[in-house]
Structure 1
């Protein structure tokens, strides 16, 4: 022990070795350390949660906007983002109901709505346009609120406003205009227009424009009082509108909606059906009634079309087939229809209950065909081929049906044809070749004047030549021989010479039969 200068004693200790503390751990202690919980990083889990929330939000937004107006969509400049179709319809209908315009004339005032002016607004169709806006764009553009799309479809056509209620409310004496019309033509195969007439009264168009402007604010604005002026008033359906409606109906007549069973057409919506099922509406944006469709200014009624089908088309169907019968010439051209014929048609019960609805839809689209369930017993076409052979060397006219000779007639040919050979040896010849009968007269006065090759003149003037059938365009015909009294087949055969100016003369007892049998288009072969 040592003493310090102050007299206090100071203890001096030996250095301590750390080795004395290094005691090895037991196996239990090691296991305890291994079982101790490890520390984990938290931020990756937070990031994953944020991403999941964003994905859920994006998915929810995508699902939501499938049935609601997309970001950036406006209607008449008013935002409708996130609104459903029914909400948009309600908002438009509410704006229409509140769109009253205060009008004044000679101290009389009244509030006039679009309905008072005979105008309606198809809020359903406009709402559909709103929901469709931007949906054709790229996916990222659809949901970009800074990319806008305004639906500006006019709620109603002010030019189609009717002044009747306006005149009544303001005590204005009115001369009513008369609408132009579209009517069936005389043969019921197409349409014609009847011009409208102007009237005199209040001018409804400025009032209608003001009401439309109010609707386009979606009820945000109110109207100021406006003075009504008198004018010569055009009819609602003007001549121009009627002409456009006629063009629509004419197009549907030329390319009609057809009713089919399989690939067989059983009926068409013809001009008469169109006239019975359509009306003209000058307001092309007017709200349609149930079962109505529109093609331009023409509105079709499914109920009226169904009624026309039930009363005028369906009764023409027969379950029993009737074959078509026609006459053809040597070129297989139809020259006369003896019987139109028809298919045997059996329609499955109830299969035609929606003809009106489906047909009106197709008429609005401009045409098409309707498939009807049923069966067809298809008609066949029975052909009778008729042709005539005129033989100049044996002085006969032969009538054939389906290759079978049915009548032989004696004849007198042109004076220029050699009686034995039939060859042409002068000016007044019957021409050889193939022809068709193109002109017919039951009776005709025949006259002519011809300078012959020797310089002499040949003139003729014969009255009441009977049963004339022209086959050549140079004026040659097969007709009753031009005699003053009856000259029959046997008389011609006994005559022994040609007497005509180029025509073929047959007996009085044969001519009427031949005239009836040899219809327009019948083939005529003339040979020497």
Structure 2
């Protein structure tokens, strides 16, 4: 009996396994009064309700983090809903796009066939390149100006970039003809040629050729590239035909319009506020080429304005060899003649600034960037000693009352000459009393000059009578009125000097005659544009 009790207390079982035996649990130690239990139950209820705001806050935080992360991600990746040539490219980076386009260009070929012979032809074989960086930039910029919800949420709102990777019309057939063993007469591109004066450009017409027309092959290649799937190839049968040059006459004409604008309003080269040169027509000729493929990939030194491509290195070389060598560090002042209106009517001495350039290393790159935009200026570093202009004002006063011609320089009288005016002018008062044969009064400028001229005419006067004249070899003629009045050597068969003119009276049909001893000097002094004031 005791043995059995001992075995039970040890927890022995028939299988020989034993287990620990615990003392009976005293429930009184954990017993809770009813009121206390109710309080704990209420506390658990309060805690259960208090957790929901935290759950909502956590969800909002997660959504905010997701939205913020998405916005951050799409700052450097293609926005939702953007496609390239119909292919979705959302989420791609700029470098991924460039690589994808370049891979499509490099791996795409079209099978060209001619009389049973075939050849694999790529865009490169056709002389075409693709500016993947520019196209990728267009894709990256797509939808950037849309409202934020259309940028980041409205993925169903698509924006397809359709820029043609290359212009099929600009394809050349050299490699195509070679691979298909076709003899070709090459077309000659139209071009622009600097005119004889060096002030503008003329179009030199292109010439047609004979051979394979590369355009259908190029069109198939471009279409394959736009699929972004190089496995999509096709076969194009080619035929011999008249081939057009890549740069047609029409393209050259459009290029000329671009260049003409740059010639009419040239890019200025400045040091500070001083213009020291311009990118003129010869500079453009030295640095440009025509390219029919408007989307061709350019080198790092090139920029494009339509069909015209400018090379920064060539422009820099032209500036170094032709512009800088024409500049001088020593200033030379200009001397000009002006009239009463301040118009420059003659230049006695050309002048120039004193220019010293210390740094022009970025001129070429800056200049072609301005040419690509179509206007602007380029700054180089240096100093300028500005040219000064010395002006000499010349004007003439014809006084019909005292019968004199006065020549002034800078408002100082330098010469007085006797004259014979129109027969209709009163010799003492200068008034027009004879009607039709008067010298007109007013302000004029000399607009036409002849060293010698035969003068003839036939005038019907207001009284019905006829006045005719025919004088050979009138010397040193200076027309001031468009009605035909001039200051000239008095028309006579033999020389009449200044003193003799004073005794003649008014003998002309409206012109102003001066002595033979004065006329040649006056002709040389009163340059084209000189002011003439006729008074009574």
Q: TM-score, normalised by structure 1?
A: 0.87
- Count residues with an aligned counterpart: 494
Whole-angstrom distance in 1 between the partners of 2:462 and 2:57 = 114
Q: State whether residues 73 and 133 of structure 1, in contact with CA within 8 Å, keep that contact through their aligned partners in structure 2.
A: yes
Please report how far the alpha carbon of residue 479 of structure 1 lies from its aligned counterpart in structure 2 after TM superposition.
Answer: 0.9
Please report how far the alpha carbon of residue 490 of structure 1 lies from its aligned counterpart in structure 2 after TM superposition.
Answer: 3.4
1:174 counterpart = 2:184: yes
Please report how far the alpha carbon of residue 51 of structure 1 lies from its aligned counterpart in structure 2 after TM superposition.
Answer: 4.0
1:199 counterpart = 2:205: no
Residue equivalent to 2:146: 137
1:100-499 correspondence runs (5 A): 100-144=109-153, 145-347=155-357, 349-350=358-359, 352-426=360-434, 427-453=436-462, 455-493=464-502, 495-499=503-507
Closer, same or farther in 2 for the Cα pair 1:50/1:420, shift >3 Å?
closer
* Higher alpha-carbon deviation: 252-261 or 89-98: 252-261
Whole-angstrom distance in 2 between the partners of 1:138 and 1:208 = 39
Residue equivalent to 2:509: 501
Whole-angstrom distance in 2 between the partners of 1:478 and 1:252 = 43
1:522 counterpart = 2:516: no
Q: State whether residues 94 and 219 of structure 1, in contact with CA within 8 Å, keep that contact through their aligned partners in structure 2.
A: no
Residue equivalent to 1:82: 91
Please report how far the alpha carbon of residue 390 of structure 1 lies from its aligned counterpart in structure 2 after TM superposition.
Answer: 1.8
- CA offset digits 1:441-462 (Å, max 9, x no partner): 1111111122345554332211
Please report how far the alpha carbon of residue 239 of structure 1 lies from its aligned counterpart in structure 2 after TM superposition.
Answer: 1.4
- CA offset digits 1:393-444 (Å, max 9, x no partner): 3332211101111112222222333333333332433223322111111111
Equivalent residue of 2:517, what SS?
A: helix
Whole-angstrom distance in 1 between the partners of 2:469 and 2:56 = 116
Whole-angstrom distance in 2 between the partners of 1:201 and 1:252 = 37
Q: State whether residues 397 and 532 of structure 2, in contact with CA within 8 Å, keep that contact through their aligned partners in structure 1.
A: yes
Whole-angstrom distance in 1 between the partners of 2:378 and 2:344 = 30
Aligned Cα root-mean-square deviation (Å): 2.5
Residue equivalent to 1:67: 76
Residue equivalent to 1:511: 519
Whole-angstrom distance in 1 between the partners of 2:404 and 2:314 = 61
Residue equivalent to 2:17: none
1:56 counterpart = 2:33: no
- CA offset digits 1:173-229 (Å, max 9, x no partner): 222212111222332222221222222211111100110111112125332322102
Closer, same or farther in 2 for the Cα pair 1:501/1:66, shift >3 Å?
same
Q: TM-score, normalised by structure 2?
A: 0.86
Instruction: Mark the runs of 5 or more structure 1 residues left unpaired by the alignment.
Output: 1-20
Whole-angstrom distance in 2 between the partners of 1:370 and 1:46 = 62
Whole-angstrom distance in 2 between the partners of 1:258 and 1:446 = 49
Closer, same or farther in 2 for the Cα pair 1:244/1:453, shift >3 Å?
closer
Closer, same or farther in 2 for the Cα pair 1:88/1:415, shift >3 Å?
same
